[in-house]
């Protein structure tokens, strides 16, 4: 997809926004969600938009909600707090909203691909979970990515949380005790994966390696262009359970 080098956006009409690639996490001033990679930025105002937020079409149809017509809004409708039906996080900025059914999607969530391919295996976007998420241990609501073999599952919301926690540990002046607390809150995949692979430890180690790879490819889908640094950081947190 060819990106315009500069655009004028109605949410920031006073200056043009320039397309750039960043390896440093940013907060999107449109949807208020975290981002990395390609963005549209106003240098004068330090205003940033995800590519998906900056180039959002006025209406979309999503394969999970075939009867819905989602309309792009710059703010959530009505006085009641809205929740993204994909990641189950609060909607506080740009959103796709279906007025007939009441569904809401963050622009980046609305753009998640149905199938991810990391060259070795496929991960399918699922609306509902039939097995537990390997990070939080629950089924819960919200979308998830599931490996084709059905042995590895991650909530979209859990990957977002893992990213934010990792970024805080890397880029912010977080106390070392806080970093350790973050790491200990990430459930051990080793114990969980043993339930799927009873037997030799080699299978568990192999599956943990697949788990780290799964996180990297899912991050790519959620944020667009994760750097090797971020992907490695998240992967290393998971690999600690081996």
The CATH number assigned to the domain holding 40 equals 3.30.60
Q: How confident is the model at residue 185 (pLDDT cuts 50, 70, 90)?
A: very low
**What is the percent of the chain with per-residue pLDDT over 70, rounded to a whole number?**
64
- Which of 48-52, 102-106, 131-135, 230-234 is the least confident region? 230-234
**Segment 10-17 mean pLDDT:** 95
Identify the band that residue 238 occupies on the pLDDT scale cut at 50, 70 and 90. Answer: very low
Judge whether 22 lies within some domain.
Answer: yes
Span 114-134, average pLDDT = 79
Same domain, 170 and 94: no
- Are 66 and 179 in the same domain? no
Same-domain status, 73 and 158: no
Which pLDDT score, from 0 to 100, does residue 186 have? 34
pLDDT digits (tens, 9 = 90+) for 151-164: 778 888 887 777 76
The answer to whether residues 136 and 233 belong to one domain is: yes
What's the mean pLDDT in 138-159? Answer: 83
Dihedral sign, Cα of residue 222, residue 224, residue 227, residue 232: positive
The per-residue pLDDT for 157 is 84
Residue 241 confidence (pLDDT) above 50: no
Residue 229 has pLDDT above 70, yes or no: no
Q: Are residues 138 and 223 in the same domain?
A: yes
pLDDT at residue number 242: 45
Residue 13, domain member (yes or no): yes
Statement to judge: residues 231 and 171 lie in one domain: yes
Does one domain contain both 93 and 135?
no
Check whether residue 137 and residue 228 sit in a common domain.
Answer: yes
In a domain, 134, yes or no: yes
User: Do 127 and 97 belong together in one domain?
Assistant: no
**Domains held by the chain: number:** 3
Question: Are 227 and 129 part of one and the same domain?
Answer: yes
pLDDT mean over 148-175: 70
My answer on whether 120 and 216 are in the same domain is yes
Q: What's the whole-number mean pLDDT along residues 39-43?
A: 93
Percentage of residues in the chain with pLDDT exceeding 90? Answer: 36
1 located within any domain: no
Which structural domain, as residue segments, surrounds residue 172? 115-239
Do 230 and 139 belong together in one domain?
Answer: yes
Average pLDDT score over residue span 181-194: 37
**Position 128 in a domain:** yes
pLDDT at 159: 79
Residue 48 has pLDDT above 60, yes or no: yes
**pLDDT for res 179:** 43
- Over residues 102-121, the pLDDT tens digits come to 999 999 999 888 887 666 66
Query: Bigger pLDDT: 134 or 85?
Result: 85
Domain termination site, one of 68, 94, 110: 110
Q: Is residue 184 part of a domain?
A: yes
Residue 139 in domain? yes
Residue 200 has pLDDT above 60, yes or no: no
Q: Output the pLDDT for position 220.
A: 57
- Mean pLDDT to the nearest integer, 5-32: 91
């Amino acid at each position: 997809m060819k990106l315009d080098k500069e655009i004028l956006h109605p949410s920031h009409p006073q200056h043009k926004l320039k397309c750039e690639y960043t390896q440093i996490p940013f907060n999107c001033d449109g949807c208020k969600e975290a981002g990395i990679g390609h963005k549209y930025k106003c240098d004068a105002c330090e205003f940033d938009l995800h590519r998906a937020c900056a180039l959002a079409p006025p209406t979309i149809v999503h394969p999970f909600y075939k009867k819905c017509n989602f309309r792009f809004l710059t703010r959530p409708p009505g006085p009641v707090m809205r929740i993204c039906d994909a990641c189950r996080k609060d909607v506080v900025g740009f959103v796709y909203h279906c007025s007939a059914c009441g569904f809401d999607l963050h622009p980046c969530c609305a753009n998640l691909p149905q199938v991810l391919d990391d060259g070795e295996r496929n991960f399918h976007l699922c609306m509902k979970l039939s097995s537990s998420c390997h990070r939080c241990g629950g089924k819960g609501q919200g979308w998830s990515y599931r490996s084709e073999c059905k042995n590895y599952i991650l909530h979209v919301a859990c990957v977002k949380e893992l990213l934010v926690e990792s970024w805080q540990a890397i880029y912010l002046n977080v106390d070392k005790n806080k970093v350790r607390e973050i790491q200990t809150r990430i459930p051990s995949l080793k114990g969980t994966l043993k339930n799927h692979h009873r037997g030799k430890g080699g299978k568990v180690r192999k599956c943990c390696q697949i788990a780290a790879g799964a996180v990297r490819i899912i991050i790519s889908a959620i944020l667009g262009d994760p750097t090797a640094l971020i992907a490695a950081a998240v992967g290393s947190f998971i690999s600690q359970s081996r």
